[in-house]
Amino acid sequence: MRPISWAAVRTTDRLATDAVDSALLLISALEPTIGAWAYLDHDRARGEAAEAAMHGGSLSGLVAGVKDIFDTADQPSEYGSPIYAGHRPRADASAVALLREGGAVCIGKTVTSEFAFAHPGPTANPHRTTHTPGGSSMGSAAAVAAGMVDFAIGTQTAGSIIKPASFCGVYGLKPTFGSVSIAGAKTFAPSLDTVGWFARDPFLLDQVRMELTGQPEAAVLGNGPTVGLLRTEQWNECAEDSMRAVVAAADIAQALGAKVVNLDMPGPLVGLADKQPVLMAYEASRSLAWEHRVKRDELSSELREMLDRGRRTNPAEINAVRARKSAALASCGELFARCSVILTPAVIGEAPQGRGQSGDSRFARLWSLLGLPAVCIPAATGSTGMPVGVQLVAATGNDAHLLAVAAWLTGGKPVPLAGAHVPQGVLA
């Protein structure tokens, strides 16, 4: 078994002021190319850093990005929509307030797709700027991958943590639904919306989890875990890059001492991933009822069509989806009776070329619908040199064990910065 000490959880003795100055220097160099930020005020960020330096905390000296779907009292919250241009909330979202209480500096607001749905923002993938970083938490994932911030928060309703984490080659955690307060984030689909976050190593993912949930740190694994390889009925929709990444991760786990078992999809889970967009559209059409009715012309065509579809959905179909969800959650006991984590694809393959899209979320939809914790780990390099992640999933509430397995499997190794485009001397 690979030796991992959870006592090596990432800590820093950097002053918050020094950390922010370094971050702003790098952002100034990279932002014209990456476009990760919806709002950034250097003077405001330095003022927050000076205040944070006086108070300390478990996240002291760390710099965070905040997806512009979260309210911030001291920065605009525009939700990726012209409808809310210049909007200034009166209070911080719960997650933002907790991060600041923990000593992190929330340096600025990262780009989100419109209302965290599909219409892409201007952000480029730091590994190859002609490609999408994935959405909707695109700015957060890109900022972490490029080293602009230590970590960044986002949200997932379908695949908006797992997918951009894979495309940008970083770690991304979608915790158990409801384990982190969503209060103060713009609601899209209340039974699906989940706060998540990105980092370049799994230890920092756990630090943030501890701060946002109040739960204890993940325990060190005493023995190799049992990993269930679940290809799902969508396996043949994977590109070879993603298939190879999953199989290679299983081989590595086995070589390190894990027991790897092949799993079949329980009947109640088959086809359920395709129902997630139905429920999402139905709930979004109600959450965004005012925008849909009063500001329809200011919505993207993608969002208008989705909201129209949601309004037309028969409630009986939604009730059937919810009933299937309950049955599926019960059947997950069959899976986790045989393993402690599931290994499954995160995405179809490498990030697609073109920034006019945010990528396909099909391999995250099932776990978002069920509310199970999932983590994307950077696992491989695809055939054209872009990152490809894999997804680990655990039972409800087993978030700490999930991160312990992620750290064990990867050796806790931080991913390198996506910095080939950085001007010489900036990272020196």
CA distances from 260 to 42, 233, 264 (A): 49, 19, 13
CA 123, CA 126: separation in Å to the nearest integer?
9
Apex 349 CA angle, 345 and 350, nearest 5: 135
Alpha carbon distance 341, 401 (integer Å): 9
Contact partners, residue 348, CB within 8 Å, separation at least 6: 237, 238, 239, 242, 360, 362, 363
Rounding to the nearest 10 degrees, give the CA dihedral for residues 181, 159, 141, 422.
180
Per-position DSSP letters for 193-233, written without gaps between them? -EEEEEESSHHHHHHHHHHHH-PPPPPPPSSPPEEEEE--T
Q: 166, 132 in Cβ contact below 8 A? A: no
Backbone angles phi, psi at 361, to 5 degrees: -100, 15
Give me the phi and psi of 262, to 5 degrees please.
-85, 130
**Alpha-carbon gap, residue 141 to 151, rounded angstroms:** 9
Residues with a known catalytic role: 67, 136, 160
Structure tokens, 258: 């894990």
Secondary structure (3-state) at 244: helix
Tell me, what amino acid is at 100? R
The residue written with tokens 């009986």 in the block is 316
Q: What DSSP designation does 51 have?
A: H
Distance separating alpha carbons of residues 147 and 23, to the nearest angstrom: 8
Pick from 189, 120, 139: nearest CA to 352: 120
What's the one-letter identity of residue 38? Answer: A
At position 362, the amino acid (one-letter code) is R
Number of neighbouring beta carbons within 10 Å of residue 304: 15
- Tokens standing for 382? 């695809």
Establish whether the linkage from the previous residue to 361 is cis, with ω within 30° of 0: no
